[in-house]
Chain A
Amino acid sequence: MTRYLLNRLGQTILIMILVSFLTFFLVSIMPRDPVYALYGSTIDQEQYEIGYKELNLDKPIIQRYFIWANKALHGDFGISYKYSTPVTKVISDKIGVTLYLSIFSMIISMPIGILLGIITAVKRGKWQDTVLTLLANITASIPSFVIAVVLMWVFVIKLKLLPTSGFTLPWVDFGKSMKQGVLPLVCLSLVGIAGTCRQTRSSMLEAIRQDYVRTARSKGLKEGFIIYKHVMRNGLVPIITLIGGSLGNLIAGSAFIENVFGIPGMGNLLVNSVNNVDIPVMQASVMLTALVVSVAYLVTDFLYVAVDPRISLR
């Protein structure tokens, strides 16, 4: 078991190294010249030469990668071209916002989605199942930004109940934070609920028709207890894998939502950094996102071991 976990940890580190390679090389082949991106396109040849040296562009790309990676390992991702402040400072302002949105919406959507999924599976074929599954399918097939725009139109423009944009963290101003945050959170959660519900339903149905459930019935256990003890744990094992994946999805999805609601988060930052050729910010954001997602997958796998004995025994 420990070996399995160490193994997975090793894999995660390997993945991070590969991601860092890819980000660095992909960004470096972008068609815009980083010197002009940093100093503007009006500089003369002499200034250009200085900038060129300063950015180590005269050195081979492999060497540049190692210089960058070495600094990155020490927490130094360089200076943002656009904001002229350290990248870590730029990102640390934004990451909290995105993580807050993603994690909060996951806390909302996971239990609700799983609960609805269990209800639809247990009540299979009954009206509860028909209604909930239909709603889940509709929600899952509409892109989240469309939901965002519709909700905004109804609650902000027509009913004028909520503010249009902006973002405040709850520990700064709780009331304001809730008012500004409710729509983005609802948008992000709805999609999560629908997806989780559908997955839970199918994996619960898979578990319900297994032979061991028949064995459990033949022992005269109560139906509710059978669902709880024998079906649910087996049915939820595949759902755990979803948690890791859905955190990745949420961060990606929040790029849209942040744009619609004008929230200064990571999604917004990443899109802007691409537009502005803010290479250090781009590299750092990609690395950070990859790290968050990898860690989420790692935690998922650790949870997996805790729930399913078959994995650690293998």
Chain B
Amino acid sequence: MSNLVETKNLVTTFPYDGKKRIRAVDGVSLNLKQGEIVGLVGESGSGKSVTVMSILQLILPPGKISGEVNIEGIKGNILDYGMFSDEVRSTRGGKIGMIFQEPMTSLNPILTVGYQIQENIMTHLGLKESEAKQKAIEMMKRVGIANAEQRFEQYPMQFSGGMRQRIMIAMVLAAKPDVLIADEATTALDVTTQAQILELIRDLAKKENVTVVIVTHNLGLIARYADRIYVMYSGHIVESGEKFEMFERPAHPYTRGLLNAVPRLDDDKTRRLVPIEGLPPNPANMPPYCKFFDRCLYREDRCKERMCELEPISENHFVRCCLSVEELDKKRDQIEGQFKSAPVKTISGEVCLEVRDLKMHFPVYRGIMKKHVGDVHAVDGVSFKVYTGETLGIVGESGCGKSTLAKCIMRATKPTAGEIIYKGTDMALLKDRALKPFRSKITMIFQDPFSSLDPRQTAGSIVGEPLKINKITKTREEYNDRVDELFRLVGLDPEYRSRLPREFSGGQRQRLGIARALASSPDVIICDEPVSALDVSIQAQIINLLEELQAKLQITYLFIAHDLSVVKHISDRIIVMYLGTVVEESPAELLYSNPQHPYTKALLSAVPISDPKVDAQRERIKLIGEIPSVMARSAGCPFCERCQYASERCRTEKPKLKDCGNGQLVACFLYD
């Protein structure tokens, strides 16, 4: 099969610090064949997005692209034509279409979605306006948009994130391209929507024989959807090959490292993640030898002698490493022997925190007179218990109320009703002054390591602030000792105390956030999506740190996240939330092996496992539609509109959590 698109030694540079130029893409050669789905995987800064943008010459000056890009049907190197030439423009959209990450900003807000699809058709297929409109409506129907004729005239803001991505797909495929590039197209979406979108792309692509490039950092997505994979690191392709081959016999130390670093849904409870220590090299200071050298567990002195090339180790499997596969495999046993298992923790029988029938309703006002028109039931009757030293995972898609729940427990907001009992005291409705002693006992780690630290405060004073506020340390020395101790506890050098947050990497900042949360020796730490903003290799470092701290200090965690694999890995028990209510509570192990609630089942099946063989054998349960509006709640089960088992009773009566053995509780009439 001939190549539709082929790049040879593609290099993209950006100016840095005056005259110097950094290479974001450093000699990438790849090819795309008709009808295949190719995964381009790498962490942030690996150059994966810049690579695909360079192929389309969407890199604006002062960025520069060099090398060779050959596209079927166009003579010679397309880079020679210039970014505004007719040849390049007919390629963009016409031959290669692209879907971007941010569904909220990638469509023009003041033009109708219909026009935006139509525009692409008129540009590349040369159809008249009315014909293009017919075609656009047809495409909207094909990507699953109901009432396409009416919705043609609507604006992007009238569509949800998942629906906008569907519009993007319709727009791109309408011009009949040969290649569709999805650049982190589903990263911003919920897992169930993500699965819907990627399945749509896969099905349409197979039907129309379109080649798809999935650019992502998520190994699970690649395992489920791709045929062939390229792994990128610091602007290089370090390994490429067929999917099954790559996941079964990963060769490059980085690929091996990534697979060891990500938690999987089918993990054993005792498995400890193996993070890739350190950080990718600074692009301004690239070593002249292997870029992974500093973080590589397999490195040898000869790696520093030269920059190795991407070489075949079997047919269709290429690796960029000085060591041969035999050498790597021999070393693997030695290295993996040193992996520790997860630290052992003890969970006491004492209830540390109990929440009973907690409700948080937000009033909604409309009009000039601010008339009260209804309430958003963000948290609607949630109850659970957490034992000292335990990790309770809380999962659910965006809008399910998990963050509001966290804010209520933190008492950052006052709940509408219910009880929050911490060691015997109900603090749900306490006044600020009475809350004071509890503030130091329940602390929080936040999602965004960038905005949750004051940019003008030094690291030392960020970490030490709770000590001062709660008057924990008496003297200056005591304070300094405690701050140093906290730095060491989270694996940071106390020397860094005087630095500012921007001098730390994302992972280090999250460590600062953890140190701050630990400062007042809390009993409970609420972790609100603590790793979702981090790259996978860094994610593992933070998860391990949290696990070690828990074993050492017997802290109780409430671990809130949308990533089921992470939650399952770290939690002892998990509650699954949907639209403000708990639909299932279960020990972590049983949740994966024996889920009860239809929503839990669908949620689990939407999460791919980063092992294509295991993943292919799993049962797929598809969800109908999208999460309904927060304002319109049915009287019955909140999930009834998307549930394939819903009966008349489900629509009128709300099921209560019921024990169904093995410590599992489920709110569903199926188990009555």
**A310, B157: Cβ atoms under 8 Å?**
yes
In the complex, the chain B residue whose C-beta lies closest to that of A219 is B93
Chain A interface: which of B84-92, B232-240, B648-656? B84-92
- A313 interface residue per 8 A CB criterion: yes
**A313, B56: Cβ atoms under 8 Å?**
no
Chain B interface: which of A59-67, A129-137, A151-159, A209-217? A209-217
Residue total for A at the interface (Cβ-Cβ under 8 A): 25
In the complex, the chain A residue whose C-beta lies closest to that of B90 is A220
- A222 interface residue per 8 A CB criterion: yes
List, in ascending order, chain B residues with CB within 8 A of A310's CB.
109-110, 155, 157
Q: How close is B55's CB to chain A, nearest CB, in angstroms?
A: 11
Q: How far is B110's CA from A184's CA once the two chains are assembled, in angstroms?
A: 38
**A212, B107: Cβ atoms under 8 Å?**
yes
Q: How far is B123's CA from A136's CA once the two chains are assembled, in angstroms?
A: 38
Q: State whether A215 and B110 are in contact (beta carbons under 8 Å apart), knowing that A220-B124, A221-B89, A221-B123 are contacts in the complex.
A: no
List, in ascending order, chain A residues with CB within 8 A of B108's CB.
212, 215-216, 230, 234
- B348 interface residue per 8 A CB criterion: no
Out of A212, A220, A221, A222, name the residue touching B109 (CB < 8 Å). A212
Q: State whether A219 and B120 are in contact (beta carbons under 8 Å apart), knowing that A214-B58, A214-B100 are contacts in the complex.
A: yes
Most chain B beta-carbon neighbours within 10 Å: one of A217, A222, A313? A217
**A219, B123: Cβ atoms under 8 Å?**
yes
Q: How close is A127's CB to chain B, nearest CB, in angstroms?
A: 16
Which A247-294 residues sit within 8 Å CB-CB of chain B? none
- B106 interface residue per 8 A CB criterion: yes
Out of B84, B97, B112, B157, name the residue touching A218 (CB < 8 Å). B97
- A233 interface residue per 8 A CB criterion: yes
Interface bits A195-220 vs B (CB < 8 Å: 1, else 0): 00000000000000011101111111
Q: State whether A215 and B107 are in contact (beta carbons under 8 Å apart), knowing that A220-B89, A220-B93 are contacts in the complex.
A: yes
**A220, B91: Cβ atoms under 8 Å?**
yes
In the complex, the chain B residue whose C-beta lies closest to that of A223 is B84
Most chain B beta-carbon neighbours within 10 Å: one of A211, A229, A233? A211
Residue total for B at the interface (Cβ-Cβ under 8 A): 33
- A237 interface residue per 8 A CB criterion: yes
**A211, B105: Cβ atoms under 8 Å?**
yes
List, in ascending order, chain B residues with CB within 8 A of A210's CB.
105
Q: How far is B56's CA from A221's CA once the two chains are assembled, in angstroms?
A: 13
- B111 interface residue per 8 A CB criterion: yes
Interface bits B142-170 vs A (CB < 8 Å: 1, else 0): 00000000000001011000000000100
List, in ascending order, chain B residues with CB within 8 A of A308's CB.
109-110
**B110, A234: Cβ atoms under 8 Å?**
yes
Most chain A beta-carbon neighbours within 10 Å: one of B58, B90, B112, B168? B58
Q: State whether A220 and B92 are in contact (beta carbons under 8 Å apart), knowing that A214-B58, A230-B111 are contacts in the complex.
A: yes
Q: How close is B13's CB to chain A, nearest CB, in angstroms?
A: 19
List, in ascending order, chain B residues with CB within 8 A of A215's CB.
98, 100, 106-108, 168
Interface bits B101-129 vs A (CB < 8 Å: 1, else 0): 01001111111100000011001100000
Q: How close is A303's CB to chain B, nearest CB, in angstroms?
A: 13
Most chain A beta-carbon neighbours within 10 Å: one of B88, B110, B168? B110
List, in ascending order, chain B residues with CB within 8 A of A221's CB.
89, 93, 119, 123
**A217, B109: Cβ atoms under 8 Å?**
no
- A7 interface residue per 8 A CB criterion: yes
List, in ascending order, chain A residues with CB within 8 A of B106's CB.
211-212, 214-215
Out of B89, B102, B112, name the residue touching A211 (CB < 8 Å). B102
In the complex, the chain B residue whose C-beta lies closest to that of A216 is B108
- B396 interface residue per 8 A CB criterion: no
**B58, A234: Cβ atoms under 8 Å?**
no
- A307 interface residue per 8 A CB criterion: yes
List, in ascending order, chain A residues with CB within 8 A of B109's CB.
212, 234, 308-310
Which A69-122 residues sit within 8 Å CB-CB of chain B? none
- B555 interface residue per 8 A CB criterion: no
**A217, B92: Cβ atoms under 8 Å?**
yes
Q: How close is A42's CB to chain B, nearest CB, in angstroms?
A: 54
Q: How close is A95's CB to chain B, nearest CB, in angstroms?
A: 33
- B603 interface residue per 8 A CB criterion: no
Most chain B beta-carbon neighbours within 10 Å: one of A215, A217, A221? A215
Q: State whether A218 and B89 are in contact (beta carbons under 8 Å apart), knowing that A230-B108, A313-B155 are contacts in the complex.
A: no
Out of B94, B102, B105, B368, name the residue touching A220 (CB < 8 Å). B94
Out of A7, A218, A309, A313, name the residue touching B98 (CB < 8 Å). A218
Q: How close is B159's CB to chain A, nearest CB, in angstroms?
A: 12
Q: How far is B119's CA from A237's CA once the two chains are assembled, in angstroms?
A: 22
In the complex, the chain B residue whose C-beta lies closest to that of A233 is B110
Interface bits B51-92 vs A (CB < 8 Å: 1, else 0): 000001010000000000000000000000000100011111
**A219, B171: Cβ atoms under 8 Å?**
yes
Most chain A beta-carbon neighbours within 10 Å: one of B91, B108, B112, B123? B108
Q: How far is B368's CA from A7's CA once the two chains are assembled, in angstroms?
A: 8
Q: How close is B117's CB to chain A, nearest CB, in angstroms?
A: 10
Q: How close is B213's CB to chain A, nearest CB, in angstroms?
A: 13
List, in ascending order, chain A residues with CB within 8 A of B93's CB.
218-221
List, in ascending order, chain A residues with CB within 8 A of B88's CB.
220
Q: How far is B171's CA from A212's CA once the two chains are assembled, in angstroms?
A: 13
**A309, B110: Cβ atoms under 8 Å?**
yes
Q: How far is B91's CA from A211's CA once the two chains are assembled, in angstroms?
A: 20
**A217, B58: Cβ atoms under 8 Å?**
yes
Q: How close is B85's CB to chain A, nearest CB, in angstroms?
A: 11
List, in ascending order, chain A residues with CB within 8 A of B175's CB.
219
Q: How close is A141's CB to chain B, nearest CB, in angstroms?
A: 31
Q: How far is B112's CA from A308's CA once the two chains are assembled, in angstroms?
A: 11
Q: State whether A211 and B100 are in contact (beta carbons under 8 Å apart), knowing that A308-B110, A310-B109 are contacts in the complex.
A: yes
Out of B100, B120, B155, name the residue touching A309 (CB < 8 Å). B155
Q: State whether A219 and B119 are in contact (beta carbons under 8 Å apart), knowing that A230-B111, A234-B110, A313-B157 are contacts in the complex.
A: yes
Q: How close is B102's CB to chain A, nearest CB, in angstroms?
A: 6
Which A222-239 residues sit within 8 Å CB-CB of chain B? 222-223, 229-230, 233-234, 237
Q: How far is B415's CA from A290's CA once the two chains are assembled, in angstroms?
A: 47
List, in ascending order, chain B residues with CB within 8 A of A233's CB.
110-111
List, in ascending order, chain A residues with CB within 8 A of B107's CB.
212, 215
In the complex, the chain A residue whose C-beta lies closest to that of B104 is A211
Q: How far is B110's CA from A307's CA once the two chains are assembled, in angstroms?
A: 8
Out of B58, B123, B124, B158, name the residue touching A313 (CB < 8 Å). B158
In the complex, the chain B residue whose C-beta lies closest to that of A209 is B60
Interface bits A302-314 vs B (CB < 8 Å: 1, else 0): 0000011110010
List, in ascending order, chain A residues with CB within 8 A of B124's CB.
220
**B92, A219: Cβ atoms under 8 Å?**
yes
Q: How far is B171's CA from A228's CA once the two chains are assembled, in angstroms?
A: 20
Q: How close is B546's CB to chain A, nearest CB, in angstroms?
A: 34
Most chain A beta-carbon neighbours within 10 Å: one of B90, B155, B175? B155
Which residues of chain B have a CB within 8 Å of any CB of chain A? Answer: 56, 58, 84, 88-94, 97-98, 100, 102, 105-112, 119-120, 123-124, 155, 157-158, 168, 171, 175, 368
A-B contact pairs, 30 of them (CB 8 A): A7-B368, A210-B105, A211-B102, A211-B106, A212-B105, A212-B109, A215-B107, A215-B168, A216-B108, A217-B58, A219-B97, A220-B90, A220-B93, A220-B123, A221-B89, A221-B93, A222-B89, A229-B119, A230-B108, A230-B111, A234-B108, A234-B109, A234-B110, A309-B109, A309-B110, A309-B155, A309-B157, A313-B155, A313-B157, A313-B158
Which residues of chain A have a CB within 8 Å of any CB of chain B? Answer: 7, 10, 210-212, 214-223, 229-230, 233-234, 237, 307-310, 313
Give 5 new A-B contacts, CB below 8 A, not counting A212-B107, A234-B108: A211-B106, A215-B106, A219-B93, A230-B111, A309-B109
Which 4 pairs show the lowest CB-CB distances between chains A and B?
A: A220-B92, A220-B93, A219-B93, A211-B105
